Amino acid sequence: MAFETVAVVGLGTMGAGIAEVFARAGLRVIGVEADVEALARGRGHVERSTARAADRGKLTAEQRAAILGRITLTTSREDLREVDLVIEAIPEVLDHKISLFQDLDRICKPETVLATNTSSLPVTAVAAATGRPDRVVGMHFFNPAPVMRLVEVVGTVVTAPGVVSEVCELAGRLGKTAVPAGDRAGFVVNRLLLPYLNHAAVLLELGIATRDGIDDAMRLGVGLPMGPFALLDLIGLDTAYEVMEVLFDETRDRRHAPSPLLRELVTAGLLGRKTGHGFYGPQEPPKEPEKSTVITFGIDGPDVHGLGERLRASGFRPSDSPDTVLRCTDRPVIEYAARLSDPTRMVGVHVVGDKVAELAGTALTSPGAAKAARDLMRVAGLVPVSCKDRAGFVADALLFPFLNDAVRMYDAGYASIADIDAAMRLGCGYPAGPFEMLGYLGLARVRDGLRALYAEYREPAFAPAPLLDQLVTAGVSEFPRS
């Protein structure tokens, strides 16, 4: 089927972005909203986004005008009679989606493919409510739609053979990569991403680290394009909350229960970028630089992160009467601190990537030693992230369960290694997919880290996936690729 005219119903952040994507690819687009105010807001989204591209020299004024000229706006669904494809991007309320699809089924010509951009709701339920379940699919874009290169194309048990491949081909015309997915809550990306984001909110609530510390650990340490709280603000806290609810309903996995902090912020109307305030406020106070202290320090145990060398290069030398004792470790710091005559001096150090040093203070660490350790890390050219002495500290505690979930997803036969890796790289801008990360981190290290997390939190989902465990036992260093 040749898709030439498409309609996008719902012109919020995602719908407007999707309309722009189609118009950029040369298709005619009809944008539909409930009223003229909502239409004007949708138009504003596309105008700002294309203006930004024009300012950066990515579009000429003529190209921008042509894109805007391909988009017509209406408040009447009846105008969609002749379109080839409709994409729904209205809020995530199943009843509203079902009633919209019933309307579209009545209005649109029989060949029209009806697609939902739902993040997590069952496509099958939407399809079954229409008279054309064989021509209903999920077409899931990622925020910001004009930038992220992934589209998940979700077929159901009743989708006609050929429709999924036609929609995948269309995604290619849009300059996107399609990853086909089965109709399971969260599909590929949200099933892996949202539990990680939710877990970050849980760590924040537990006081394991601060918002900025957690974001720094994941962005600067792990190398993700955004920290979890900046990303939650981009996605919208309400959207994240809704996706978590759907995941929890399907899995009853308590890790999927939305964190109470998310609920509180959503109830308060702090939804992220769309309301100008979420985890980050509109006017963040400038960060006060901490005053440096005079420090004598020592390094206890093997200096696996080369801290001594880094500090010596800046003129700092370990001393025999140290105020602060650094211990490079990914094990509980308190085990080492308890062996010192003065355990208040010890701070655990865990370097993540080559930019971030997680600094784990124990229940006994003195504020002076904690502050001195932060100063030392800055001297060593590392961004300090203070955290509690808990298994996995921050980065491993967030990254390893995500990797474990990816292994379980593959092992369940839901998606291939290549598709999971591509989905996370193209949908979320990750520098590497989870299986690529497992390869360079080492399977044994991740397995052992998961064992430590499980031992500490007794969370069943942190227990290493049996496949991961078996590969380590068999001495395999990375996942076999077909």
Residues labelled catalytic: 119, 140, 152, 190
Backbone angles phi, psi at 366, to 5 degrees: -80, 150
Which of 225, 260, 442, 460 is close enough to bind ligand CAA by CB under 6 A?
225
Q: Is 258 in the site for ligand CAA (CB under 6 A)?
A: no
Instruction: Tokens for 251, please give them.
Output: 């899995």
The site string for ligand CAA over 98-137 (x = CB under 6 A, - otherwise) reads ---------------------x------------------
| 5 membership: H or E segment, kind and range | strand 5-9
Rounded Cα distance between 169 and 187, Å, is 19
Closest approach, Cβ 56 to ligand CAA, in A, equals: 4
Q: Which is nearer to ligand CAA, 433 or 464 (CB)?
A: 433
Q: Is 1 in the site for ligand CAA (CB under 6 A)?
A: no
Secondary structure (DSSP) of 339-374: TSSSGGGEEEEEEETTTEEEEEE-TT--HHHHHHHH
Closest approach, Cβ 146 to ligand CAA, in A, equals: 4
Residues 6+ apart with CB under 8 A from 232: 197, 200, 201, 240, 262, 272, 278, 279
Whether the CB-CB separation of 130 and 136 falls below 8 Å is answered with yes
Q: Is 429 in the site for ligand CAA (CB under 6 A)?
A: yes
Closest approach, Cβ 439 to ligand CAA, in A, equals: 22
Q: How many CB atoms are located within 10 Å of the residue 104 CB?
A: 22
Q: Is 188 in the site for ligand CAA (CB under 6 A)?
A: no
Closest approach, Cβ 192 to ligand CAA, in A, equals: 10
Which of 49, 156, 198, 324 is close enough to bind ligand CAA by CB under 6 A?
49
Whether the CB-CB separation of 167 and 178 falls below 8 Å is answered with yes
Of 100-108, 138-146, 245-253, 318-326, the window that binds ligand CAA (rule: CB under 6 A) is: 138-146
Closest approach, Cβ 50 to ligand CAA, in A, equals: 9
Rounded Cα distance between 149 and 128, Å, is 29
Characterise 236 by phi-psi region: left (phi > 0), alpha (psi -120 to 50), beta (else): left
Q: Is 56 in the site for ligand CAA (CB under 6 A)?
A: yes
Rounded Cα distance between 197 and 463, Å, is 19
Which of 108, 148, 164, 185 is close enough to bind ligand CAA by CB under 6 A?
148
Q: How many residues bind ligand CAA (CB under 6 A)?
A: 22
Which of 26, 44, 52, 254 is close enough to bind ligand CAA by CB under 6 A?
52
Question: Among 104, 133, 247, which residue's Cα sits nearest to residue 185?
Answer: 247
Kind of pairing between the strands at 356-361 and 346-352: antiparallel
- Integer CA distances (angstroms), 479 to 413, 446, 474, in order: 15, 13, 12
Which of 38, 121, 231, 471 is close enough to bind ligand CAA by CB under 6 A?
231
Which residue minimizes CB distance to ligand CAA?
429
Q: Is 180 in the site for ligand CAA (CB under 6 A)?
A: no
Q: Is 226 in the site for ligand CAA (CB under 6 A)?
A: yes
Amino acid at 242: E
Which of 108, 168, 235, 452 is close enough to bind ligand CAA by CB under 6 A?
235
Q: Is 144 in the site for ligand CAA (CB under 6 A)?
A: yes
Residues that bind ligand CAA (CB under 6 A): 49, 52-53, 56, 58, 119, 142-144, 146-148, 190, 193, 225-226, 231, 235, 239, 427-429
